[in-house]
Structure 1
Amino acid sequence: MSRLFGSVRARATLAATLVVAVALVAAGAAVLLSLRSNLLGEAGTQAERSARDVATELAVGTPYADLSLDVDDRPVQVVDEEGTLVAASDDLERITGTGVETVEPRPAASPDGTGDADDGDDDDDAGEPLEAGEIGERTTVSDGSATIDGDTEDYRFAAVPVKTEDRGRLTVYAGAPLSAEHGAVNTALTVMLIGFPVLLAVVGWVTWLVTRRALRPVEGIRREMAAITASEDLARRVPVPGTHDEVARLASTTNETLAALQTSVERQRRFVADASHELRSPIASLRTQLEVAAAHPELLDLDGAVEDTVRLQHLAADLLLLARLDAGERPADARVDLAALAREEAGGRAGVSVRDDAGAAGGVTVAGSRGQLGRVLANLLDNAQRHARSAVEVSVRRDGDLAVVGVADDGEGVPEADRERIFERFVRLDAARSRDDGGAGLGLAIARDVAVRHGGTLTVHDAPAGGALFELRLPAA
């Protein structure tokens, strides 16, 4: 059961069915109340019409014996101001709801059969003030029951007052049956009790089918992702439905994530392979020198061993920095004067000059890690000196809200096709590989990663002297 309702399809079907059920119950209750109200109002109108017909006869002086009290077999009572029943329907056997439960009239008959005359107006205080021969405007409605000729039914009674000249103030009670109201309400209720469950079943069934159809692509995506997880084949992709809806966008985003993950994993694998390759050469060289020294101490090349050890140390430091950058290490938020940093890194390097184009304007300051930014400049200077013919120039300037550091050399420059590739890890152009002092191909990759971590960019262009110009752009503090 928990697995069933753990399904999105089951929850959607249940939710839709519950919503429709609540709506149907509310609508059904409103319909029943409206139907009952209308039918009760119609019954009250019919009862009032019957009561006013009898009141009209009384107003013109019709004797009790000649009143139309048995029309449509409806219960009618005529009560005087004393509360005494003076006229009633012939077949009336029992009545409730009018306040007068007697069914046998007891009129105080006069010799002419019209009843005793009433000469006073003292009944005006009993209710609505009326003149002789006038019928009251206000009608009182009540519910009750009556038995006529052995049949008992519920009725809605209307009470209408009338003032007569010879019999004083009278009240006419007339009833209209509520059987139509009960029948209609019961029929509507029966239809609802039968129809609502059927309708809810149809809604649930349709929702189940529609939800299954809508979620079928999601199930396909899930199966493919499970297969990718099991096979560890990141080259596979999930199917993208042609519906152009949220599911299609989910599939596209999933494929983009898989592509990014595949690229990251392949990059990591290349990184590990290249790092192993770069480490193997100095380690093998150092081991050879140590083995030779162990067998023939007089042949020990101490300078070569130290050089290989330093190379290993630099490579390990580069790999550690790249690992920290890949882990998302945030740079420090210190203030760094780029002109001072450039002069510090250029100090002691032959053929390197520094031009501070923003010195008179108060210098160029950025926020970040002084050590990492110094590493960027050192790597750029190492690369420039490795390729320069004679001179390297470092320029520091401000360009709007950006601080710009340029490192230019007068070498052969970088071919346009390789200007992005040189920032990849362990990538070295053929000319660089042929040099004995060539690095491991991590300096420019580290420089760009540090620039990006500081919210900036690192690009390469043609230098005015014909070589390469590396431009580091960072947000100015």
Structure 2
Amino acid sequence: MKVARLIAATGVRMRTTAVAVFLLALAMVLAGVVVVLLLENSLDRSVTESARSTGLQVARQLAKVGAAGLSDTGVAATGDAEAVTQVLDARGHPVTSDPAIATLPPITRARPGPGQEIVETRTLAIHEDSSSYRTVSRLVYGPGGPYTVVSARSLMPVTDASTRLTLLLGLIAIPLLGISGLAVYRSVGSALEPVERMRRTVAEVSTTDLSARVALPPGSDEVHRLAATLNSMLDRLASAQAAQRRFVADASHELRSPLSTISAALDVSSQHPESMGTDELVPVITRETARLRELVDDLLMLARTDDATDRPSRTEVDLDDIVRAEAERVRGESTLEIEVRAWPAKVHGSEAQLRRAVRNLVDNAREYAKERIRVSSSVHDDRAFVEVSDDGPGVAPADRERIFERFVRLDASRQRFYHGGTGLGLAIVAGIAARHGGSARYLDVTEPHYPGAHFRIELPRIDLPQDEEED
């Protein structure tokens, strides 16, 4: 955890630079290892070929004149201090050797057969210095018997070359890593500069003024899309703030109306008791108090539908049962003709909220219907529907979207809901539907018996048992 917090505290630029430098260093190390290995392999083959070539020269002389025709000087005719040659007889005893190893026993115990060549790497102590040598042994037939020619060449040049190359690559890598790290650090800083400008712009945005917008950088990369997303977020915040202000203003206006009526009635009653007695005052206060209670209840319901943290208990709800219950309620309270088409439809949600949504639609239809209302529930695919239709004046096409907004007032024919309404009924319907993963909308349909308004609530359905669907 401490390491994670320490890494997080270094910032994006430092983390990116560190990762880039680490990866570059890793790549350079791998490349250096490959180069050094290739060089060693090439030099190693070169040393072996050089030892083989020297041995072949001596072998040709042996094949012609035998050991008697050789001398120490002839064996060491190459003059190369890093290469030595030794000729062994059939018993493995030195016949002649390079002066540098004249006092040494046989430098190898390899005994190659006819046409065979044995290559070894051995450590030889020459001039009191021990080092690795590549030895090539071959059998030669010549005057005086078979001989074994052993040609050895020091591997010190290979080691020295690889060491110098490794040191050189290291010396080059250190400044290269530093320059690369600085370049990455500056490049990341330059790439993040638009983000920093966005941060400063957003930091200057206040809750009272959401008009500022982030400047869009050129191109269509992630930074450009981030700026566009921030501007879209600011647009949504500004729209939500404006809607909230309108809501507060409308709610204040709606609350002030009944309060003003109650206050005026009380003033008249107190100053002119002879003109407004208790019998006249109580009905006015009762009526306006009911309006206040209805408005407050609607505002609380809207607050719950807006509150994402509100988690009402959810169960399996039968929409067809709610449809039948609301239809029976309206039959008992009005003389309208109520048509019910309740097809089994089961959803998962809050029964109280769903009942409130259906009731709002039914009360809205009852307020504006002339003779009949139709309430229905149905299913299609994975969706469940509740529809409410009436034969009233309907809603103008221009108003069919905004009627689900809060405190919307239409023309005089459809101004308010049942009992005067609050202008929040359809907004509550839309909010409840959205909280249940569905939607509420006005249907653009025309039917002979129901030429008025057609509202639909659409919700995700729950599969019904086979026997229940058949019923």
Both structures adopt the same fold (TM-score exceeding 0.5): yes
Look up the match of 2:88.
79
Classify 1:128/1:336 alpha carbon distance in 2 versus 1 (closer, same or farther; 3 Å). same
Task: Give, in angstroms, the shift of residue 16 of structure 1.
Answer: 0.6
| Structure 1 residues 436 and 172, CA gap change in structure 2 (3 angstroms) | closer
* 1:51 Cα offset (Å): 2.0
Post-superposition Cα deviations, 1:264-299, rounded to whole Å, max 9, x if no partner, equal 222222222221221122223334444555664972
Per the normalisation by structure 1, the TM-score is 0.81
CA distance 1:182–1:420, change in 2 (3 Å) = same
Percent identity of the aligned residues? 33
| DSSP 3-state at the match of 1:250 | helix
Q: Which residue, 457, 467, 473 being the options, matches 2:439?
A: 457
Distance in 2 (CA, whole Å) between partners of 1:4 and 1:449 is 41
Q: 1:379 aligns with which of 336, 343, 360?
A: 360
Partner residue, 1:277 = 253
Name the structure 2 match of 1:341. Answer: 325
Structure 2 CA distance, aligned partners of 1:82 and 1:180? 33
Partner letter of residue 305 of structure 2? L
CA contact (8 A) 2:52 2:151 kept: yes
CA distance in structure 2 between the aligned counterparts of 1:96 and 1:385, rounded to whole angstroms = 122
Cα distance change, pair 260–82 in 1 and its aligned pair in 2 (3 A): same
Distance in 2 (CA, whole Å) between partners of 1:9 and 1:282 is: 62
Q: Deviations over 1:209-252 (max 9, x none)?
A: 32223222211211111111x56532222122222111111111
Structure 1 Cα separation of the partners of residues 169 and 157 of structure 2: 18
**CA shift for structure 1 position 128:** 4.2
Distance 1:354 1:364, change over 3 A: farther
Aligned partners of 2:393 and 2:103: how far apart in 1?
A: 122
- Using the alignment, how far apart are the partners of 1:97 and 1:323 within structure 2? 102
Tell me the residue number matched to 1:239: 215
2:340 to 332, 351, 356: 356
Distance in 2 of aligned mates of 1:232 and 1:93: 101
CA distance in 2, matches of 1:177, 1:397: 98
Deviates more, 1:159-168 or 1:49-58: 159-168
1:57-76 C-alpha deviation (Å, 9 max, x unpaired): 33445234525312222322
1:325 aligns with 2:305: yes
Q: Does 1:473 align with 2:458?
A: yes
Cα pair 1:351 1:392 within 8 Å, conserved? no
1:77–1:174 contact (8 Å) kept in structure 2: yes
User: Normalized per residue, which structure has more helix?
Assistant: 2
Give the conservation status (yes or no) of the 8 Å contact 2:66–2:143. no
- Cα deviation per residue 1:134-170 (whole Å; 9 max; x = unaligned)? x6433334344634xxx97956342424365775554
* Mean Cα deviation higher: 80-89 or 25-34: 80-89
| Structure-1 residue corresponding to 2:44 | 40
Selected match of 2:427 from 438, 445, 459: 445
Q: Secondary structure at 1:426's aligned position in 2?
A: coil
1:70 maps to which residue? 76
Q: Which runs of 5+ in 2 are unaligned?
A: 1-5, 463-471
Q: Which residue of 2 aligns with 1:306?
A: 286
| Residue-by-residue CA offset, 1:396-447 (whole Å, 9 max, x unaligned) | 1535334443333333221111111111101112415599953221011111
Give the TM-score taking structure 2 as reference length.
0.82
Segment of structure 1 superposing worse, 137-146 or 341-350: 137-146
Q: Residue 372 of structure 1 aligns to a residue in which SS?
A: helix
* Segment drifting more, 328-337 vs 237-246: 328-337
Per-residue deviation, residues 94-129 of structure 1 (Å, max 9, x unmatched)? 8799259xxxxxxxxxxxxxxxxxxxxxxxxx8444
Question: Is the CA contact (8 Å cut-off) linking 2:113 and 2:139 kept in structure 1?
Answer: no
C-alpha change, 1:25 and 1:129, in structure 2 (3 Å) is closer
Q: Tell me how large the CA RMSD over aligned residues is.
A: 3.3
Once the two structures are TM-superposed, the CA of residue 395 in structure 1 deviates from its matched residue by: 3.0
1:347 match: secondary structure: helix
Within-5 A mapping of 1:112-151: 127-130=111-114, 136-144=116-124, 146-147=126-127
The 1:80/1:208 distance shift into structure 2, 3 A limit, reads same
SS at match of 1:50: helix
CA displacement 1:420-475 (0-9 Å, x = unmatched): 11111011124155999532210111112222233333222465344322233344
CA spacing shift, 1:468–1:396, aligned 2, 3 Å = same
| Greater mean alpha carbon deviation, residues 74-83 or residues 213-222 | 74-83
Q: Indicate how the Cα distance of structure 1 residues 96 and 200 shifts in structure 2: closer, same or farther if over 3 A, else same.
A: farther
* In 2, Cα distance between equivalents of 1:399 and 1:91: 104
Q: How far, CA to CA, are the matches of 2:230 and 2:439 in structure 1?
A: 29
Matched residues in 2 for 1:406 and 1:180: separation? 94
C-alpha separation between the residues in 1 aligned to 2:94 and 2:150? 10
Aligned equivalents of 2:219, 2:368: Cα separation in 1: 55
The 1-side partners of 2:201 and 2:104 are apart by 79
